[in-house]
A and B are shown apart, each in its own frame.
Chain A
Amino acid sequence: MFRWIVVRDLTLAWKGRVDVLSTLFFFLIVVSLFPLGIGPETHLLRLIAPGVVWVAALLASMLSLGRLFANDYQDGTLEQLLLTPQPLYLVVLGKVLALWLVSGVPLTLLSPVLGIQFGLSRNTLFVLVVSLLLGTPVLALIGSIGAALTLGLRGGGLLISILVLPLYIPVLIFGAGAVDASIMGSGVQGSLSFLGTLVVLSLVFAPWAAAAALRISLE
């Protein structure tokens, strides 16, 4: 069942490639806007790079949340999924995994290119990729709660940002903190370990909360 959901959501994502690509382009464009707004000074850009890339990653993964349940909700698939005897926890986890594979992973792979634009060193680029690889699943997991809560509500897209962005703050702090520490030449392990902790915590709690929220929204 879990594998079926992942494969199904991946197939659907492949059929609607434009959505997936637009998330990536959004990420690319937002990050590229900052040098234009701030100026081409390399020193300054290197200082703000961790924050800029991470905030853009936050926004991009938030925008991709709309796809998580909305289509299945509209065509009634979600209701059927709720009726299956499978634990809803696994259903949510499968959908989140599929979403992460099509939004979080490409975004992470794209990030070194953007890092080069900001003059980051090779070592720092590596830390950036690792931090995003650990952070983006947390973003998808926490976001699934918001997506489930706002299902079918008017103004859902804006509302989800108000709900989810404050909860993203710890991920932003530790993610950008790791890259920052790498630029400053201090240890990155602390921040990365905290990110790892957040992965474990959100893996345990978030699908459960999202499942409860789905039950409430579909009642």
Chain B
Amino acid sequence: MAGINWYKYASPANFYPLAGKMIPWFAIPAAILFVVGLYVGFFVAPTDFQQGDAYRIIFIHVPAAWIGMMLYVLMAIYAAIGWAFNARLSSMMASAISITGAMFTFLSLVTGSLWGKPTWGTWWVWDARLTSTLILLFLYIGFISLQASIDDSRRADRAGAVLAIVGVINVPIIYFSVQWWNTLHQGATIRLLGKPTMAPPMLAAMLIMLAACWLYSIAVVLARLRCTILEREQSAAWAAEAAGSPARQPSWGA
């Protein structure tokens, strides 16, 4: 690995083709793992004696919640690097991550409430975890809308970085305050997972799905990053050429 000149790939022009080559390496394993994970989750993992089959939604819910949280931190790190070292690619990476992160956070809220209805008997409770995930979604929305309303991409990158860093400092404070608020208002807290131990096939299915979601995230973020690079570098000759040829047409992910 030592032989690679990493700085070379900090330039959008060099990273663009590299990202194009990398995407299949993440997208195809992601697709395979999704199939395997869903198979294990639906057909191998036993039915839960308390929650019935409804629990199976955690195979998508838990990975989505984890990734939603981790992508926010990752986004802030990329944004901070982009701001501190004036690395454009890093800032573009932060913008690309923000959409995927918001999507996974939203997905975890939706699947959580779908799971809550049969299990808790209600779509929504003001549980500490639910509330802090909702606030996390608000933070993502703030970051995305700030960047969307600034036309100058340099200013958008830096303003986003300040907001992301402030948000990251706030996340533990928010999490702590929500937890404190929750224990104040509710006598009994409902645990997200009723049982402390999981059957091995359940755990396996969840970990496979987690890996699949990570690989999917990387592939989609890279695809979006390629679009951003083309958009921002449209004045450069190589980018116009790359955008013009049908073979290099960037594909939009979810």
Residues of A within 8 A of B (CB): 145, 149-150, 153-155, 159, 162-163, 165-167, 169-170, 173-174, 177, 180-181, 194, 198, 201, 205, 209, 212-213, 216-217, 219
B147-162: CB near A (< 8 Å → 1, else 0) gives 0011000110011001
Instruction: Report whether B155 and A213 are in contact in the complex, using a CB–CB cutoff of 8 Å.
Output: no
| Distance, CA A165 to CA B138, complexed state (A) | 9
* Segment at the A interface, from B94-102, B165-173, B199-207, B231-239: B165-173
Instruction: Report whether B177 and A209 are in contact in the complex, using a CB–CB cutoff of 8 Å.
Output: no
With A149-B159, A159-B149, A163-B163 as known contacts, state yes or no: A173 contacts B180, CB within 8 Å: yes
Interface size class of B (residues with CB under 8 A): 20 to 34
| Distance, CA A155 to CA B149, complexed state (A) | 8
| Distance, CA A181 to CA B142, complexed state (A) | 32
User: Per DSSP, are chain B's interface residues mostly helix, strand or loop, or mixed?
Assistant: helix
A-facing residues in B53-76 (Cβ within 8 Å): none
Query: For residue B161, which residue of chain A has the nearest CB?
Result: A216
Partner of A170, one of B154, B159, B165, B174: B174
| Distance, CA A150 to CA B147, complexed state (A) | 10
Q: Which residues of B contact A159 (CB under 8 A)?
A: 145-146, 149
Residues of B within 8 A of A (CB): 135, 138-139, 141-142, 145-146, 149-150, 154-155, 158-159, 162-163, 165-167, 169-170, 173-174, 176-178, 180-181, 184
Instruction: Report whether A169 and B174 are in contact in the complex, using a CB–CB cutoff of 8 Å.
Output: yes
| Distance, CA A127 to CA B154, complexed state (A) | 46
Chain B nearest CB from A186 CB (Å) reads: 9
A-B contacts besides A166-B135, A170-B173, A219-B155, 7 pairs, CB < 8 Å: A145-B162, A150-B149, A153-B149, A167-B167, A170-B177, A180-B184, A209-B162
Chain B nearest CB from A214 CB (Å) reads: 10
| Distance, CA A181 to CA B177, complexed state (A) | 15
Closest 5 CB pairs of A and B: A166-B138, A170-B177, A216-B158, A173-B181, A163-B142
Instruction: Report whether A177 and B181 are in contact in the complex, using a CB–CB cutoff of 8 Å.
Output: yes
Instruction: Report whether B177 and A173 are in contact in the complex, using a CB–CB cutoff of 8 Å.
Output: yes
Query: For residue A180, which residue of chain B has the nearest CB?
Result: B184
Q: Which residues of A contact B174 (CB under 8 A)?
A: 166, 169-170
| Distance, CA A218 to CA B167, complexed state (A) | 22
